[in-house]
Structure 1
Amino acid sequence: MAWHIFIPDSLLEETSDPKIRTYKVGQIGRAAAIFGVEHVWIYKAGGKDGKFIKLILEYMETPQYLRKSLIPLTKELRYVGVLPPLRTPHHKLKGRPKLGEIREGIVIRKGKRLYADIGLDELALVEGSGEGRMTFKIVSLKPLKVVPSKPEEYWGYRVHLTRKSLAKTLKKAKLNLAIATSRKGEDVRKVNLPPLEGEVGFVFGSPRKGIMEILRDFNEDYPFDLILNTIPNQKTKTVRTEEAVLATLAIFNFIRRD
């Protein structure tokens, strides 16, 4: 099973403060990491912040020792100090290398040989081929050698900026179960939920518009499997998108079985 969340490019339409904007996106990234979301989709909803949202989310997901190489420092990143660390399994501390350890790295070519920066004091010789950012397994300590590998645990999320409307983005994701969140939806406590299997998507609206209104703006419809109110009896007039993401994923985390 893989979890997907869908957020609008208008997520930040209610604030112009760059520090608050950065922090709000950070709350989305932190919630995604806490509950093991593997895909974050940014869909077109009339906003102008898709690229910024993607940049901040990718910056958070990238291990600290790779950020300088993979993400050039720009003015959009000047407030990244307010972002909470993810502390996911692929955000390794420096420490000593361990045989069999899985680490993220970036491939560096030196002459005819390939090396990988995996966040240690020395580069590791790569046995195999590849380029850019990759996942490696340490197979030798002296000398330090790695081979391309696949992680066996949660390894962060991927960010997709589709520049497509919500319905088209959902179709692109090829979900097995699509769940829309709405204050007008069915009370999540009273619904017989289907098994959470395959590709499961949770869809969220913007600060000013709900999912159905966003769909109508683009003359679209989508056959959601469920439309749920995941914060029944809310005592505030509105619930922010980042709050809805955290609350919704927390509820479904109780019932996921994988």
Structure 2
Amino acid sequence: MTEMAWHIFIPDSLLEETSDPKIKTYKVGQIGRAAAIFGVEHIWIYKAGGREGKFIKLVLEYMETPQYLRKTLIPLTKELKYAGILPPLRTPHHKLKREPKVGEIREGVIIKKGKRLYADIGLDELALVEGSGEGRMTFEIISVIPLKVAPTKPREYWGYRVHLTRMSLAKTLKKAKLNLAIATSRMGEDVRKVNLPPLEGEVGFVFGSPRKGIMEILRDFNEDYPFDLILNTIPNQKTKTVRTEEAVLVTLAIFNVIRRD
């Protein structure tokens, strides 16, 4: 089976219906939490007339960064005033502090001391790095006494990457190079009545804003895009509107049932 990666596309106008910074932080937190639950690997923030793309990206990246690296990589700013209300992701790369074990994979950040490289991997002591690199990296513990690590690649779900494109939706979708692009819309086909194609390769789920659907956003930029599917993933909804963060959770839950990777 072809390896698969999930992408979600959210507008920079996600937060246009509220001016409360605490609620804004909470709404973005719901997106990050849903992405982590269902193993989304890429979150794309596309241009839709909003002004808070940078804030959305900051909060999502703060959530995705292991707690022990946040102080180094993402210093607290006024934008993160309400970061304490964000739900923890508890994904495999958010490790707790414990006795190190050979073979364990942990996220870390490179620290240079003279000509030697060390890594902060969230333990009581820094680990000597065998190899090269800089910034945030993924490491495998190769020795406990002394504590040594080597750069490696994750072997399980390891969080998501956030892309703030500052480009329109159609251009952002083209940049993502998807194998399957699925738009969500109240006007779309009932997801229960559609013969869904195999979920393989790079699969993207696209969401509109609180005030505008995907097609309206495309029209605002005089664009079109050849979606593979336009689906109503909440048929018979009983509320007048469905919030973007709710649509993300529902849509990913539906497709999680049929994924086979």
* TM-score normalised over the length of structure 2: 0.99
Match of 1:32 among 2, 23, 35: 35
Output aligned runs, 1:8-23, within 5 Å. Answer: 8-23=11-26
- Say whether residues 1:122 and 2:125 are aligned partners: yes
Task: Kindly provide the amino acid, as one letter, of the partner of residue 173 in structure 2.
Answer: L
Match of 2:238 among 225, 232, 235: 235
Question: In the TM superposition, what is the alpha-carbon distance from 1:121 to its structure 2 partner?
Answer: 0.2
Output aligned runs, 1:207-218, within 5 Å. Answer: 207-218=210-221
Q: Which portions of structure 1, spanning 4 or more consecutive aligned residues, are displaced by more than 4 angstroms?
A: none
Q: Tell me, in whole angstroms, the C-alpha distance in 1 between the residues paired with 2:155 and 2:136.
A: 18
Q: Aligned residues, how many? A: 258
Equivalent pairs: percent with the same residue? 90
Task: Kindly provide the amino acid, as one letter, of the partner of residue 198 in structure 1.
Answer: G
Question: In the TM superposition, what is the alpha-carbon distance from 1:82 to its structure 2 partner?
Answer: 0.7
Q: Tell me, in whole angstroms, the C-alpha distance in 1 between the residues paired with 2:135 and 2:17.
A: 37
* TM-score normalised over the length of structure 1: 1.00
- Say whether residues 1:133 and 2:122 are aligned partners: no
Task: Kindly provide the amino acid, as one letter, of the partner of residue 80 in structure 2.
Answer: L
Match of 1:102 among 89, 96, 105: 105
Question: In the TM superposition, what is the alpha-carbon distance from 1:186 to its structure 2 partner?
Answer: 0.1
Structure 2: which 5+ residue stretches go unaligned?
none
Q: Tell me, in whole angstroms, the C-alpha distance in 1 between the residues paired with 2:110 and 2:99.
A: 20
Task: Kindly provide the amino acid, as one letter, of the partner of residue 145 in structure 2.
Answer: K
Secondary structure of 2:6 counterpart = strand
Q: Tell me, in whole angstroms, the C-alpha distance in 2 between the residues paired with 1:120 and 1:150.
A: 20
Q: Tell me, in whole angstroms, the C-alpha distance in 2 between the residues paired with 1:233 and 1:170.
A: 29
Q: Tell me, in whole angstroms, the C-alpha distance in 2 between the residues paired with 1:251 and 1:135.
A: 31
- Say whether residues 1:76 and 2:79 are aligned partners: yes
Q: Tell me, in whole angstroms, the C-alpha distance in 1 between the residues paired with 2:84 and 2:127.
A: 30
Q: Which residue of 2 aligns with 1:7?
A: 10
Q: Which residue of 1 aligns with 2:248?
A: 245
Match of 1:224 among 224, 227, 238: 227
Q: Deviations over 1:131-182 (max 9, x none)?
A: 0000000000000000000010000000000000000000000000000000
Structure 1: which 5+ residue stretches go unaligned?
none
Q: Tell me, in whole angstroms, the C-alpha distance in 2 between the residues paired with 1:151 and 1:14.
A: 38
Q: Which residue of 2 aligns with 1:191?
A: 194
Task: Kindly provide the amino acid, as one letter, of the partner of residue 213 in structure 1.
Answer: E
Q: Tell me, in whole angstroms, the C-alpha distance in 2 between the residues paired with 1:72 and 1:62.
A: 12
Task: Kindly provide the amino acid, as one letter, of the partner of residue 202 in structure 1.
Answer: F
Q: Which residue of 1 aligns with 2:149?
A: 146
Task: Kindly provide the amino acid, as one letter, of the partner of residue 186 in structure 2.
Answer: R
Output aligned runs, 1:26-65, within 5 Å. Answer: 26-65=29-68
